[in-house]
Structure 1
Amino acid sequence: MNIVRPKKKLGQHFLRDQNIARKIVDNLRGPIPDVLEVGPGMGVLTRFLLQRPELNVHVVEIDTESVEYLKTHFPELHNKIYSHDFLKWEARQLPELFSIIGNFPYNISSQIFFRILAWRHRVPEVVCMVQKEVAERISAPPGSKTYGILSVLLGAFYNIEYLFAVSEQVFVPPPKVKSAVIRLTRNPVEELSCNEALFFQTVKAAFNKRRKMLRNSLGEKGLELPEPFAEKRPEQLSVADFIELTKLIQNLKKTENGI
């Protein structure tokens, strides 16, 4: 098998620029030896990962045609090619700690990030290429129009760096949008100082009605937000603000329930 056909239903756009592939791999900095590549396709990143002797490379790929290509062209991967859907896979074959790298399919990139959040205690570093708009949204600071759910949720547990943009012309087939590479590095926060499930719920609820003030987007019957949060919109709140807001909601609900 000399080539894998890109499949539209899988959102496949194969990077063909070797210099960009090397640059992406070079941005994987962490000391963790085990690295999981998500959706390697024909192995444009895999080739450079395998050139780094300090890395123990694993790959997960949903496309069976790509899996056969990888087995043929990268025999050194041996039994470290996992033919699974990353979004449903439990990664039990991997060590406790592993970094993640990949050119994420645009159509499921948000779902991949939520999966990474679920594994945040196992994943100290992520280097990935995504749609440029998504990269800008994730790395946006509070107050920005593009600041949103993933900016806050990922920012609670990772330091986020926007690295560089990538032209659509270096892919086969070319996507209709530009791409960009970002790096996530785990911060020291082991647990938030609030109810984490309520934190996730609060952030999502606030941004689902991002044009409304928080008293309207988060206010429930009998639950009135006090200042300074009531008159603010979600993009005005930092991660620390959302943590404080979550604590406040937690206490208000306890009071409401007579606890």
Structure 2
Amino acid sequence: MQYTLKKSLGQHFLHDENMCKKIVSQIEPSAGMQLLEIGPGGGALTKYLIEWKDVQYKAIEVDEEKVQYLQHTYPVLKDKIILKDILQADVPFEGKFSVIGNFPYNISSPIMFKMLEWEPQVDVIIGMFQKEVAVRIAAGPGSKQYGILSVLTQAFFKVDYLFDVNPNCFTPPPKVMSGVASFVNSGNPFGITEKRKFFNLVKAGFNQRRKTLRNALRGTLPPEALTHPLMDKRAEQLSVADFVSLHKQYQL
């Protein structure tokens, strides 16, 4: 049984076996572990993941043809693949689970927002992205790459850019370099309880990133907040802790 490539879904299939093994090796399997693969596609990573003993594996895949191919090729996958768009999916496990995937590049940022929704249950994420997206999420204050997703992700996860993946590792080769990053849940170290309000504050700050926060957040923060010393800075100059401080001080 064969499958076809669907450009509409941004599909690039990883064929380099050494790279597949390298990505899979970034997660340490353990007895009783729950593992979700996002976008298994043709099974490049899947065939290694299903060999792990005592691991509860599930996958979410939007392409019905790929689901049929995987279940035909690997009968053990029967009833383990959820045919759904990851962005519309419900949380797949009760309790803690880990995530791995070659994330479709056209929706990789929305996938990370989805992971932030599921964050209380997600221990570890190993994801492959377009390199510039992975670098952006891992970027620190003061850099042009640093933005909304950097702050929101780093508020809840320890983020590390791990390694590049050359276009030649894929069929067809993408026109961009890819990169693998890891996200280890840091246990909500800032004690953020109102995640939606925090997200809205960070987004408002970066929506006009060339302006000082005083101008970018006018109308979002109460008037007294606009005298705060941080208001003289631009959003990209604030650390995650700075954003949390504003959020907690003004309940926004």
- Please report the TM-score for the alignment, with normalisation by the length of structure 2: 0.93
Matches within 5 A, 1:25-174: 25-29=24-28, 31=30, 33-92=33-92, 94-174=93-173
- The 2-side partners of 1:152 and 1:230 are apart by 17
Q: What is the distance in 2 between the residues matched to 1:11 and 1:98?
A: 26
State the Cα distance separating 1:194 from its structure 2 match: 6.0
Alpha-carbon distance in 1 for matches of 2:162, 2:110 = 21
Query: Does structure 2 conserve the Cα–Cα contact (< 8 Å) formed by 1:160 and 1:184?
Result: yes
Shift of 1:116: 0.4
Three-state SS of the structure 1 residue aligned to 2:226 is: coil
Match for 1:238: what amino acid?
Answer: S
Superposed displacement of residue 168, structure 1: 1.0
Matched position secondary structure for 2:161: strand
The number of aligned residues is 249
Residue 180 of structure 1 deviates from its aligned partner by 0.1
The equivalent of 2:17 in structure 1 is: 18
Deviations 1:39-80 (A, max 9, x none): 101100001112222422211111011001001111112211
Deviates most, 177-186 or 194-203: 194-203
In 2, are the aligned partners of 1:30 and 1:125 still within 8 Å (CA)?
Answer: no
Give the deviation of 1:145 after TM superposition: 1.3
Unaligned runs of 5+ in 2: none
TM-score (norm 1): 0.91
Could you report, residue by residue, the CA deviation over 1:112-162 in whole angstroms, capped at 9, with x for unpaired residues? 001100000111110010000000000011111101111110101100011
| C-alpha distance in 2 between matches for 1:34 and 1:12 | 26
Question: Secondary structure at the residue paired with 2:191?
Answer: coil
What are structure 1's unaligned runs of at least 5 residues? Answer: 254-259
User: 1:257 is matched with which residue?
Assistant: none
Distance 2:120 2:13 in 1: 30
